[in-house]
Structure 1
């Protein structure tokens, strides 16, 4: 349990010292204007840190994370990140990443039976929307890999939402190269896998 910021501050100082010892110019380089190659849209789950699991350094990924890596048409937070990444940072790729063992997907699949269903707050509204997104797939047989299948369904559905966003559509209409990837992270193996890829309108694989 963290009851004081002191341990985190101490670890920060140790980390900063190690970076300077490995590369005396490390912070001078990271202080330069950012030029990330990709936007990462992922889950807020603490076990799925984008830079760590991809081995990226500061400045390589522009990151947005939320419950169950959702792309919602009226989410100004996500849309502002998306607009900034495309129009000002000129990223060439967007990676939408879900993960097996996603608590948001698990909550959505069991929503009628949990106390969250009777609440009226931002989390309950978001999980309700996620349950609607999963739709008929919620009736999949209760097999051992059912939750994994629902996670994959969610990635594909959120990917479709991402493709339909105005910033992405405009980028493609303007002739810019932009690759979209839908991925899954496996907590047990540490591996990422690609589920879907699209690099222009009407071109998905």
Structure 2
């Protein structure tokens, strides 16, 4: 209760402020949703999609998980993807990682973590992530590269890897084959500056740019 009470109080304050600014605010947001984009991001509490993009309710359809992963047998993610494309008719997908990602850090350190000896959902997930980043985990040829820079490069490598997984999914390929407009962006968020950076973009089945 001690955690919920302040959240409820802030919720009431927020709702009141919205009604004061726009009396029809909740009447409008209660209408059927028509988001323009699907956001696939990390569950990290510092990376809320609507806040960092300045979006309003109804603009983004959001899926978040540890390290913004796209896994071929993840029914949760795939059902979100299918619903966004087939029913909401979204025209863009933003896959977003972020510097300082704990999932990526765990994947790079996994052999030396107690998690490596466990058999649970988290250990399996981080294990999959480590496999996905296996090539990027090789020692850097640049001896002057510090650990912070190395972790940033791993975060970017993860975005590119998950982006490739996303563009290869059946719902995305089918959407492109049907001639629908669908732009997919791979981005990274900088916790220190608050800025998003585009790493890769693809709008057809042919390839990324």
- TM-score normalised by length of structure 2: 0.96
For the residue of structure 1 that corresponds to 2:81, the secondary structure is: helix
Q: Which residue of 2 aligns with 1:39?
A: 38
Cα drift, residue 120 of structure 1: 0.6
Q: Which residue of 2 aligns with 1:189?
A: 193
Runs of 4+ in 1 over 3 A off after TM superposition: none
Aligned counterparts of 1:89 and 1:82: Cα–Cα separation in 2: 10
Aligned length: 204
* 2:65 is aligned with 1:72: no
For the residue of structure 2 that corresponds to 1:129, the secondary structure is: helix
Candidates 146, 150, 157, aligned match of 2:154: 150
Contact 1:71–1:162 under 8 Å retained in 2: yes
Q: Which residue of 2 aligns with 1:161?
A: 165
Contact 1:86–1:171 under 8 Å retained in 2: yes
The gaps in structure 1 that reach 5 residues or longer are: none
Aligned counterparts of 1:76 and 1:163: Cα–Cα separation in 2: 16
For the residue of structure 1 that corresponds to 2:191, the secondary structure is: coil
Q: Which residue of 2 aligns with 1:21?
A: 20
Contact 1:39–1:85 under 8 Å retained in 2: yes
Q: Which residue of 2 aligns with 1:120?
A: 119
The gaps in structure 2 that reach 5 residues or longer are: none
Contact 1:140–1:146 under 8 Å retained in 2: no
Candidates 174, 177, 181, aligned match of 2:178: 174
Cα drift, residue 4 of structure 1: 3.4
Q: CA RMSD of the aligned region, Å?
A: 0.9
Aligned counterparts of 1:119 and 1:11: Cα–Cα separation in 2: 39
Deviations 1:89-121 (A, max 9, x none): 000000000000000000000000011111110
Q: Which residue of 2 aligns with 1:106?
A: 105
